């Protein structure tokens, strides 16, 4: 390869370097297949595109079309690629005096981030990065119990959502389905729930007003039928208003959900919706019971009435 290549590390463009210089960087661990290189400083590709640079370098195939350097040996210093490369130093120059090294404590985790190897970190820290999307679930990870680098999503239990996570912000992982779609679907139903709640309040107000008018008129004229009808409409209005209150509470919970995707808020909204449907079911059961009782009474009256005539 006669072409000179530019090297990009953390947004900094270095070079151009010839093949001998690049192979020297490979031998010193400062250039891996995950780094980005370019022939013109504009169009960038993975360094693995130039396989001749890595002749003799050990690699592991961990994912389709992805080659990475072999895992760091346990308990050995790991080069921090965030340290600028020594552009002027020769092949035999010692590492920069401020180079940062990290030594694994116990079973630390290493991870690939923006083309650079990071770590070691504790597993709780790595889980938090995955949960908050600071680290993609497809990022490569490794610890001293693993034979090679693999994607974080392929490590059992590493990116799984906790079984109980009340009040925590839900973060969707591509492998777990579209969780954000669940929140959007829930909040999209709020206008309809609010519309039904307002309609229930208006209907309840009209029923109660009509009931009071009939109650007053029936009591004034001593008409029991009007009094009973007035009481019926008042009770109907009160029941409808109770259902409207439950729907309004559900709509308010959905409004809170629109400002933050929280498990606790979503659970609270679902509890209010469940209460509303339980209330509707009880009302329907009572109505059906009254209808059944009335039909039985009419049937009994129809059967027994001829005997008295």
CB burial of residue 149 (10 Å; 0-12, 13-18, 19+): buried
Answer whether residue 93 is part of any domain: no
The residues, any chain, with a CB within 8 Å of residue 225's CB and separated by 6 or more, are 218
Are residues 78 and 52 part of one domain?
no
Are residues 215 and 248 part of one domain?
yes
32/93 Cα distance (integer angstroms): 19
Answer whether residue 48 is part of any domain: yes
Are residues 277 and 190 part of one domain?
yes
Are residues 284 and 265 part of one domain?
yes
Residue 290's nearest CA partner among 219, 243, 241, 239 is: 239
116/80 Cα distance (integer angstroms): 8
233/235 Cα distance (integer angstroms): 5
Q: What angle do CA 116, 122, 123 make, to 5 degrees?
A: 95
Cis peptide bond upstream of 120, omega within 30: yes
- Domain count across the chain: 3
- Tell me the backbone φ, ψ of residue 59, rounded to 5 degrees: -135, 160
- The pLDDT value given to residue 145: 80
- The pLDDT value given to residue 92: 41
Answer whether residue 94 is part of any domain: no
247/191 Cα distance (integer angstroms): 11
For 27, how many CA atoms within 13 A lie in the half-sphere containing its CB? 12
Answer whether residue 178 is part of any domain: no
* Residue 64: CATH number of its domain: 3.30.1490
Contact present, 240 and 205 (Cβ < 8 Å): no
157/162 Cα distance (integer angstroms): 9
Answer whether residue 152 is part of any domain: yes
Tokens of 32: 């891996």
Name the β-bridge partners of 110: 142
Residue 225 carries which DSSP code?
H
* Residue 11: CATH number of its domain: 3.30.1490.40
Answer whether residue 274 is part of any domain: yes
Domain containing 146: what range?
A: 58-85+99-160
Are residues 144 and 106 part of one domain?
yes
- The pLDDT value given to residue 97: 37
pLDDT mean values, one per 10 residues, the chain (309 residues): 76 80 79 80 80 62 38 40 43 38 52 82 85 83 82 79 44 48 81 91 94 89 88 92 92 80 81 92 93 89 70
203/216 Cα distance (integer angstroms): 20
Name the β-bridge partners of 251: none
Are residues 21 and 53 part of one domain?
yes
Are residues 114 and 49 part of one domain?
no
Answer whether residue 19 is part of any domain: yes
Are residues 199 and 283 part of one domain?
yes
Answer whether residue 280 is part of any domain: yes
The helix (run of H) or strand (run of E) holding residue 180 is: helix 179-188
109/150 Cα distance (integer angstroms): 12
Render pLDDT for 127-158 as a digit per residue (tens, 0 to 9): 888 887 888 888 888 887 887 788 888 888 78
60/150 Cα distance (integer angstroms): 10
pTM greater than the 0.75 cutoff = no
Tokens of 43: 């169009």
Are residues 22 and 70 part of one domain?
no
Are residues 64 and 53 part of one domain?
no
CB burial of residue 288 (10 Å; 0-12, 13-18, 19+): exposed
Are residues 18 and 120 part of one domain?
no
Are residues 191 and 74 part of one domain?
no
53/1 Cα distance (integer angstroms): 9
The residues, any chain, with a CB within 8 Å of residue 75's CB and separated by 6 or more, are 103, 104, 144
Name the β-bridge partners of 53: none
């Amino acid at each position: 390869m006669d072409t000179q290549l530019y090297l990009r590390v953390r947004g900094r463009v270095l070079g151009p370097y010839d093949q001998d210089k690049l192979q020297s960087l490979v031998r010193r661990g400062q250039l891996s297949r995950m780094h980005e290189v370019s022939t013109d400083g504009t169009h960038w590709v993975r360094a693995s595109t130039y396989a001749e640079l890595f002749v003799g370098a050990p690699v592991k195939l961990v994912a389709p079309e992805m080659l990475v350097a072999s895992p760091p040996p346990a308990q050995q210093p790991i080069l921090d690629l965030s340290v600028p490369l020594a552009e002027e130093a020769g092949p035999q120059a010692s590492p920069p005096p401020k180079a940062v090294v990290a030594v694994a404590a116990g079973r630390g985790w290493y991870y690939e981030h923006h083309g650079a190897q990071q770590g070691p970190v504790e597993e709780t820290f790595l889980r938090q990065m995955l949960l908050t999307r600071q680290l993609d679930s497809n990022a490569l990870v490794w610890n001293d119990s693993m034979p090679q680098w693999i994607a974080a999503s392929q490590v059992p239990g590493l990116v799984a959502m906790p079984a109980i996570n009340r009040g925590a912000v839900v973060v969707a992982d591509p492998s777990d389905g579209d969780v954000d779609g669940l929140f959007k679907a829930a909040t999209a139903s709020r206008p309809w729930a609010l519309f039904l709640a307002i309609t229930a309040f208006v209907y309840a107000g009209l029923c109660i007003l009509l009931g009071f008018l009939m109650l007053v008129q029936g009591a004034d004229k001593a008409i029991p039928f009007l009094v009973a009808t007035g009481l019926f409409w008042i009770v109907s209005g009160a029941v409808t208003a109770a259902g409207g209150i439950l729907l309004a509470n559900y709509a308010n919970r959905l409004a809170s959900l629109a400002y933050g995707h929280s498990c606790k808020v979503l659970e609270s909204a679902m509890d209010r919706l469940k209460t509303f449907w339980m209330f509707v079911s009880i009302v329907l059961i009572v109505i059906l019971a009254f209808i059944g009782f009335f039909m039985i009474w009419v049937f009994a009256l129809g059967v027994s009435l001829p005997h008295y005539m």
